[in-house]
Structure 1
Amino acid sequence: MLTAIRHSLRLARAMLILARHDAFGPTEQFTDLPASARQLMGAAKMASRIALRRRDDKGLAAAITELGPSYIKLGQFLATRPDIVGAAHADELASLRDRLPPFSREEALAEIRSGLGAEPDTLFSEFGEPVAAASIAQVHRARTIPRNGEEDKPRDVAVKILRPGIEERFSSDLDSFFFAARLAERVQPAVHRLRPLEAVETLAQSVRLEMDLRMEAAAISEMAANTADDAGFRVPDVDWTRTSRRVLTTEWVEATPLGDIEALKAQGHDLEALADTVMQSFLRHAIRDGFFHADMHQGNLFVDPDGTIVAVDFGIMGRLGLKERRFLAEILWGFTTRNYMRVSEVHFEAGYVPGDQSPAVFAQALRAIGEPLLDRSADEISMARLLGQLFYVTEQFNMHTQPQLLLLQKTMVVVEGVARTLNPRLNMWETAGPVLREWVEHTLGPEGRIHEAAEGAATLGRLVTGLPELLTEAERTTHMLADMAKSGGIRLDATTTEELAAAQARHGWASRLALWIGALALVAIALVELF
């Protein structure tokens, strides 16, 4: 009870701040909410009317910034979920800037002392003031002191440090978010399709990873391995000896920000080639590797003197399983070739659209999305917009929300925007074509079939190798079932068990395996009937 009251008060405070910034918009749009919720929102708007007239920083993004670090992360997450907040709010949240006042240099040095177990002046000969401060951490430029023969000369590095006390703040706010999600599901059954609890859990998991800087270091290392042979793209080196849960040290990137177009032109860089590299790199990471940088805005991308793009800040990453990667590649390829029936089939094969829907009718809906977009000039076509409309239309066919695909689509919006600032005439399909073709040929062509066959053979080999253990487990299961039957638990027909025993005595190990699988199937049927 007290916990519910505490969460309610926290959420009421948040609502007042949102209302003070006029972040709700007209209350008429919330007609589906319970009457009590509408009344509370109306009261909040009325109470804040005087304060609102005095404010210049109106809007959802401004309100979330005032609410603090946890809500900034929530806002960034909801920017990837237009299905929850609506397209207009998602666009506004996408402009949310994760910037907060820095904490002091002395606090940063104390975190280094605690996190690395050494005095800062034994690790760094220079340690500057913060150069960037966000909701979870801030970054300092420093210079290393060579130690234990690991280095032959000092290096300039970027030192990222978590905000003091940030874990406790996030823990309290996330508890309130879970409370709100459970409440929403209880009072509004239609909300279930949007999976708010699952959404909050995804946010919580993301934040937990982001607050362990060793995980970010591992993400950098993984992407470095994935892209080692990719021309035109790289990531900074990680200094593992100066990295811990609350401190991350990486190579300092001395390069030109990708957003500084005039500087890039002055240095003689090919902007069209850079645009292609940005787009193709993102698609390779997502489709080929299933692991992509989910915050690829201009502030996180730099250009080396040799024209190589260097990405930084790997706190937010996206992962796609093989099913999602195949889904993404095939639907983009299907739209490119206007094969709407194949795109429809891919949705059903992936299990995203329920089997009771019509593939032909779904293909018709896909055509309604694709034709208006694909008939535009090449430089007007947006893959991100295509995916956004696709996910919107699938609601009509009871497709469950796929958060990982929404994160991908929202990241693609940012990446397309970055690429088009470099080349406004960018032909998205022409640029993406080589990456998609390579994936389709590698995965669905002869090479992919051979790879699948090899994996199947390996799986069969593992099964054969594990047969003795499997038989042992089967025998244990038999004894367990016998004991349960004696105690009045699950009952198998006496004749059936006698025949199984007799058959076991007559046949070899292969037949015994088949019989035990049959027995276990009978147990599964019995369990279903019991429950």
Structure 2
Amino acid sequence: MADAGSSRARYRRILRFAARYMVQAWWYELFLPRIGLGRFAARGRAARLTRLARRFHALAVSLGGLMIKVGQFMSSRLDVLPPEITKELEGLQDEVPAVAFDAIRRLAEAELGVPLEVAYEWVDPVPVAAASLGQAHRARLVPADAADTGFADVVVKVQRPGIEQIVEVDLAALRRVAQWLSRVRIVRDHVDLPVLIEEFAHTSEEEIDYLHEARNAVRFAENFVGDPRVDAPEIAWERSTKRVLTLADVTAIKINDVDGLRAAGIEPADVAAEFATVMFDQLFRDGYFHADPHPGNIFVTPTPGGERPWHLTFIDFGMMGEVPDRLRRDLQQVMIAVASRNGTQLVSSIRDVGVLLPSADTAELERAMTALFARFGGMGFAELQKVDPREFEAFAREFGDVIRSLPFQLPENFLLIVRAVSLTSGMCSSLESDFNMWDAVEPYAAQLIRDEGGNVVQAFAKEAVSIAGIAARLPRRVDDIVTRAEEGRLAVESPRVEQRMKSLERVVRRAVSAVLFAGLFIGGAVLRADEAVFGTVLMAVSVIPLLHAVFAGAGRRG
């Protein structure tokens, strides 16, 4: 069990790591570019990212717990994060050190209330998997239990001893880091980190309740009853408790084992396409989805002579997410807008989802989205890698300016959705380097449109009423515009021009502060020889315009 001293040491170690790299990020990504040393900071970025990932890798392996979950998330983001990070974190789950079997035996027997030799015919002391929160061992049920359940070969999942205390410490550290980040204006304005951490805490606490996981597995399997694409293990309820879970052994080819798939005659590209579609079904059809679809939790099971040559088998249902009906409909509209490359519709759908606040002026975002679709729409991950980095940089700079100017935030129920989509995208990219997510999105969106066919008449009627309303108001609006123009009250707003003007105003104010600093400092230095007190005061006061000249706007840029 984790004692108070080791818990405090663990807590401080996580906070030191976070603080160190938050300061480093501020220095290299914000401060140096602000004083004209952006190129210098960019030259060493790859090496810094590699060092960061390597040190986090070592931290996660040595600490385990929720740090492994963070590393899994980052390692899967092949489509977003730099390869310096994803490469260093590859296989992190497989490197979790195993707990000694004696400790596992003691915990399992205390939970089951009988010796392992009574509960099972045999248990393999060598774990088949050692995960961040638990450990799995192959076993065989006694004949009587096997007859009741209908299967004999099982996997016994046992919690790591003391994991409740470890999760509690990790969550406390993450809460503190969230408080630090919430003091950065760009983070505070766009993400309610404390709320997201509490959502993550709730999910983590559910994940260490194996009876909850067992019920999740049953519900997941029910959603795919009769679907030959997906399978899930059955539960041996008589040998399951809050800390011990016994389920049918369904281990097969790991989904990211490309060589193993090809040896079985299965094309990785086909697996990627099927996996993406199955995840879309969970998110947009069922509203109940596996939120931790990393490689260790999904197998590809060959089925010779079956209806299909193979199917996907999901395990580990500790982290599941739900999408309310209203949000699911809104997300469907987002997918349709993305598939049709409709920037205006996408922005409207994002607003409906709740990412954009009602006060957002989205005209500039719509133009940016339209330009983004026109240039990069339909490109896969491999194609995007071939684009000139300077073009990406120009798009990113303009797009970032637009995003920072908008009042948006991440809704609290989005954490698991973002995680699931991120892991899915990364997994597909690792299975097939040329995988194009558009190939999966477009047919799925087309099916959504066909499913909505029954509402076409209502949609047309609604659009007709909207157009009629606009037509009825048009003469009055035109007359109002002419009147305002005649009276000199007509104003045209351009978000981009206003943004540039505000930026120019800030530069001018900082330049004035720099001149004021120089005047006060030099004047104080000259007067100090004759008027020591007055000269010292002037030099001290000069610090105020100096700070404004150097740091003005830091809050806006985050």
Please say whether Structure 1 and Structure 2 have the same fold, judged by a TM-score greater than 0.5.
yes
Aligned match of 2:142: 145
Match status 1:367 vs 2:370: yes
Q: 1:280 to 1:29 in 2, by over 3 A?
A: same
TM-score normalised per structure 2: 0.64
Q: Deviations over 1:136-161 (max 9, x none)?
A: 10000000013368538761111111
- Which residue among 438, 442, 445 is the counterpart of 2:447? 438
The C-alpha deviation readout for 1:111-137, integer Å capped at 9, x for no partner, is: 222222333222211101212112210
Q: Quick one: which of 345, 356, 360 aligns to 2:359? A: 356
Picking from 401, 409, 423, the partner of 2:410 is: 401
Give the Cα separation in 2 of the matches to 1:58 and 1:116. Answer: 40
Which residue in 1 is equivalent to 2:124?
A: 128
Aligned residue type for 1:396 = S
User: CA offsets per residue over residues 402-427 of structure 1, 9 Å max, x none?
Assistant: 35445434433432343344444444
Cα separation, partners in 2 of 1:88 and 1:30, compared to 1, 3 Å: farther
> Which amino acid is 1:134 matched to?
A
Greater shift, 264-273 or 325-334, is seen at 264-273
Asked whether 1:330 is paired with 2:327, we answer no
Q: Which residue of 2 aligns with 1:112?
A: 108
Q: Name 2:320's counterpart in structure 1.
A: 317
Amino acid at match of 1:360: A
The range that moved more, 171-180 or 123-132, is 171-180
Q: 1:97 aligns with which of 92, 95, 110?
A: 92
2:151–2:248 contact (8 Å) kept in structure 1: no
Counterparts of 2:67 and 2:226 in 1: how far apart (Å)? Answer: 39
Task: Describe the shift of the 1:223–1:153 C-alpha distance in structure 2 as closer, same or farther (beyond 3 A).
Answer: closer
Pick closer, same or farther for the CA change 1:305–1:201 going to 2, 3 Å: same
Quick one: distance in 2 between partners of 1:88 and 1:227?
A: 35
Query: Please, which runs of 5 or more residues in structure 2 have no aligned partner?
Result: 1-5, 32-47, 304-309, 386-391, 460-558
1:432-462 Cα deviation digits (max 9, x unpaired): 3343333344357439989xxxxxxxxxxxx
Give the letter for the 1:415 counterpart: T
TM-score when scaled to structure 1? 0.67
1:256–1:71 Cα change, 3 Å: closer
Counterpart amino acid of residue 14 in structure 1? I
Counterpart-to-counterpart distance in 2, 1:111 and 1:188: 44
**Alignment CA distance shift 1:93-1:15 (3 Å):** farther
Partner of 1:494: none
Cα contact 1:257–1:303 (8 A) shared by 2: yes
Q: Does 1:240 align with 2:237?
A: yes
Letter in 1 for 2:272: A
2:228 is the counterpart of 1:231: yes
- 1 CA distance for matches of 2:60 and 2:251? 33
The answer on whether the counterparts of 2:365 and 2:402 sit within 8 Å (CA) in structure 1 is: no
Q: Would the aligned equivalents of 2:77 and 2:86 in 1 still touch at CA under 8 Å?
A: no
Q: SS where residue 405 of structure 2 aligns? A: helix
1:347 paired to 2:350 = yes
- Equivalent of residue 209 in structure 2, options 209, 212, 215: 212
Equivalent residues in 2 for 1:438-457, closer than 5 Å: 438-442=447-451, 445-446=454-455
Q: Secondary structure at the match of 2:144?
A: coil
Distance 1:70 1:277, change over 3 A: closer
In 2, are the aligned partners of 1:378 and 1:429 still within 8 Å (CA)? no
Partner of 1:14: 14
Q: CA deviation at 1:167?
A: 0.7
Secondary structure of residue in 1 paired with 2:136? strand
Kept after mapping to 2: 8 A contact 1:220/1:235 = yes
The answer to whether residue 56 in structure 2 is matched with residue 60 in structure 1 is yes
| Cα shift at 1:244 | 1.1
On the 8 A contact 2:77/2:426 being kept in 1, the answer is no
Give the aligned partner of residue 414 of structure 1.
423
User: For 2:108 and 2:400, how far apart are their aligned partners in 1?
Assistant: 45
Query: Is the Cα contact below 8 Å between 2:255 and 2:299 reproduced in 1?
Result: yes
**Offset from partner CA, 1:64-95 (integer Å, 9 cap, x none):** 4334424334555688999xx99899858974
Matches of 1:7 and 1:123, distance apart in 2: 34
Deviations 1:149-203 (A, max 9, x none): 8538761111111111111222233234334434554x55554332121122122
In structure 2, the partner of 1:484 is none
1:268 and 2:232 equivalent? no
Q: Cα deviations across residues 9-67 of structure 1 (Å, max 9, x unaligned)?
A: 865443445689x89646614768xxxxxxxxxxxxxxxxxxx9xx9994333234334
CA distance in 2, matches of 1:321, 1:381: 34
SS in 1 for 2:259: helix
* Compared CA separation, residues 347 and 112, structure 1 to 2 (3 A): same
Number of the residue aligned with 1:498: none
Equivalent residue for 2:437?
428
**Alpha-carbon distance in 1 for matches of 2:151, 2:352:** 55
CA RMSD in angstroms, aligned pairs only: 4.1
Write the mapping of 1:375-386 to structure 2, written as runs, cut at 5 A: 376=379, 380=383
Q: What does the per-residue CA deviation read over 1:469-515, in whole Å, with 9 as the maximum and x for residues that have no partner?
A: xxxxxxxxxxxxxxxxxxxxxxxxxxxxxxxxxxxxxxxxxxxxxxx
Match of 2:143, SS? coil
Q: CA deviation at 1:327?
A: 2.7
Mean CA deviation greater in 56-65 or 361-370: 56-65
- Structure 1 window deviating more from structure 2 (103-112 vs 88-97): it is 88-97
Q: Relative to structure 1, is the Cα distance of residues 72 and 153 closer, same or farther in structure 2, using a 3 angstrom cutoff?
A: closer
Query: Number of matched residues?
Result: 416
Moved more, 339-348 or 372-381: 372-381
CA distance in 2: counterparts of 1:94 and 1:432, whole angstroms? 28
Query: What is the alpha-carbon distance in structure 1 between the residues aligned to residue 187 and residue 289 of structure 2?
Result: 29
Is this contact kept in 1: 2:380–2:437, CA < 8 A? no
**d(CA) in 1 for partners of 2:119 and 2:402?**
55
Higher RCO, 1 vs 2 (CA within 8 Å, ≥6 residues apart): 2
Q: Deviation of residue 234 (structure 1)?
A: 1.3
Checking the alignment, whether the CA contact within 8 Å between 1:330 and 1:440 is kept in structure 2 is no
Q: How many Å apart are 1:249 and its aligned residue? A: 1.1
